Amino acid sequence: MDGIINVNKPSGPTSFAIVAQIRRLTKERRVGHGGTLDPMATGVLPVFLGRATSLVEYLQEYHKTYLADIILGVATDTYDAHGRVMATIDASGILLPDVESALDAFRGNIDQIPPAFSAVKHEGQRLYELARQGQFFKTDPRPVTIYRLTIVNFRPPLLTLDIECSKGTYIRSLASDLGQKLGIGAHLGGLVRTSYGPFNINDTVDLTRMTEAAASGAIAKFIQPPDTVLSSWSAVILTEEQERIVGFGRQLAIEAGDVQRLRAYGRDGRLFALLKLDHETGAWQPDKVFGITANYLQCDKIS
């Protein structure tokens, strides 16, 4: 069972718990997710099955979009609704122009400090594990990019934002930082991931439907092809001789235009290999090969 399920994660379980449930439903041993969502968050969670798990890394290159409900005037230690309230300030005096002006500081390339309660590691331990023990460590700021930051709704103390951002962005930190910028504190009250690269919330499937489909042996209908995550890449179809060359990890001469990488398909139409341009030779070097016959995905990293 090789492919990707675009899961609509419910609020409550962790992303790892969703993976465990998909593993039980599909009976596939190799299962992984792309892009962790906090337990309270909902929405798009791509889950990779079988040999498609070797493609998870390419999902991280895409932008993510969110709808975020931010509660102004209440700061918590976790930066979300599950944390301990640290301060409360009346937000009724905050006007729409104030929010618009404050948001300017968070658009484009910014440096962001991950929350104390996060999966970032300090000396080998997750920050949230240390925080639960009463040990709080502030990490160095990390560069992230906010491509879009738009107000959807503003009825103090509730502010809803439409956000498009790069990998590594913490929406909880954005909420907290915005509250500090406004001088009243804030936390993340709710979060929905509406898209992640080629995966959109309108095309998700919930756990109830998957459970019902698994019971009737029809869960495969929810599995998208592994190369869905590579849909933005240029593609080539290999000849029999080119399949043989790539299959043995040797470089290949192809006219492919101004691109740096390619998805290569075999004569049977299945994904055969991923190729990257060798700038010194001008030829294409196999990066990952999915089986010499391409009758099934069999991923090997070429080193």
Determine phi and psi for 41, rounding to 5 degrees.
-80, 155
| Residues 43 and 34 sit within 8 Å (Cβ to Cβ) | no
Cα 201 from Cα 67, distance rounded (Å): 11
Question: Which is nearest to 64 in space by CA: 136, 146, 182, 158?
Answer: 146
* 116, burial (CB in 10 Å: exposed 0-12, middle 13-18, buried 19+): buried
The DSSP H or E segment spanning 78 is none
**Residues listed for the chain:** 303
Question: Which is nearest to 113 in space by CA: 75, 139, 135, 136?
Answer: 139
| Residues 274 and 227 sit within 8 Å (Cβ to Cβ) | no
| Residues 31 and 49 sit within 8 Å (Cβ to Cβ) | yes
140 is catalytic: no
The DSSP H or E segment spanning 68 is strand 64-72
| Token code pair at residue 113 | 């400090």
| Residues 106 and 174 sit within 8 Å (Cβ to Cβ) | yes
Give, as one character, the DSSP assignment of residue 237.
E
Q: Which of 38, 69, 80, 177 is catalytic?
A: 38
Active site residues: 38
